[in-house]
Amino acid sequence: MRLVVTDYGFPNLAPERAALEPYGVEVVGHQAKTADDVIAIAQDADALLVQWAPVNADVIAALDRCRIIVRYGIGVDNVDIAAATAKGIVVCNVPDYCLDEVADHTMALALATARQIVPIDARIRAGTWKITPDAPMPSFRASAFGLVGFGRIAQAVAERARGFGFRLAAYDPFASPEALAAQGVEAMPLDRLLAESDVLSLHAPLTPDTKHLLNADTLATMKPTARIVNTSRGGLIDGEALADALERGVVAGAALDVFEAEPLPDDHPLRRAPNAILTSHVAWYSEQSLPALQRLAAEEAARVLRGESPKNPVRL
């Protein structure tokens, strides 16, 4: 059997080989960038491990033997799940790694923007010493921390935010108000959550319904003192609308680890927007999470190639 790694940003594929070669699976690594690249290397693969390469309907139509596609990570935006399912190929992700890392990074961004760390540092370096901030800075105990989505990472963020005294609220159409209340989180409709949040943290999947959930219209409903954090999917935010909102003071700040186009284009207005903290999709990373991601993805492929049921299939 042959497993193709379409693309990867890891130092090596040792964890994949350790998990798969005992079962007679050859692991072949590539750095595909386009759908045509993937077709050229994967037509005879029994399994695919995919990081960023596009696995669209054309790619899936060309797969002659593939039984499973595993996405390195939680999101599966770059895999056509419907086309794969129609062809009998199971698609899996790795939702059970880096939960603490992403939650920690989310809180680091939330704290940095809410406490205005970056602009205060900049003004000191520019020669200005003041013991008060330039913009309003409410205490965390007087602030509402809103969560869009309440999956595992959002719940870990809520646990951390609770420790700082924030009032917690969430919008998640799949979570019951009782389940939220049991964790000290108030259930809110989206419009109210946007209107009341002092810090708004996004933790929703990217779907046609959630694409550009934050846009010019919805941003205009938020407090002018609100701060937005996104460590989920870049497409949840219309980046140009957010940059404009920051320029005009519609919202006070944003701290983003994910973007609709990555790398973030050099000419994107978010690079010049005031009160924006930008990190380069690193929330998932720690010295421990990297090999764990590789191992867990490979173990999922191994299960299916052995004829077993997958642990984390992605449903339509």
Strands in 2-5's sheet, in edge-to-edge order, are 26-29, 2-5, 47-50, 68-71, 90-92
**What single letter denotes the amino acid at residue 63?**
L
Cα–Cα separations (whole angstroms), residue 188 to 3, 122, 156: 45, 37, 19
Q: How many CB atoms lie within 10 A of CB 74?
A: 23
Q: Which residue has the tokens 């870990």?
A: 156
Most distant CA atoms of the chain, gap in Å: 66
Residues with a known catalytic role: 233, 262, 281
Q: How many CB atoms lie within 10 A of CB 243?
A: 20
In eight-state DSSP terms, residue 103 is H
**Alpha carbons 283 and 277: distance in angstroms, whole number:** 13
In eight-state DSSP terms, residue 141 is G
**Alpha helix (H) residue ranges in 150-209:** 152-163, 177-182, 190-196
What residues have CB less than 8 Å from 209, skipping those under 6 apart?
A: none
Q: Which residue has the tokens 């193709």?
A: 4
The angle subtended at Cα 235 by Cα 12 and Cα 271, nearest 5°, is: 80
Which helix (H) or strand (E) is 68 found in, with range?
strand 68-71
3-state secondary structure of 309: coil
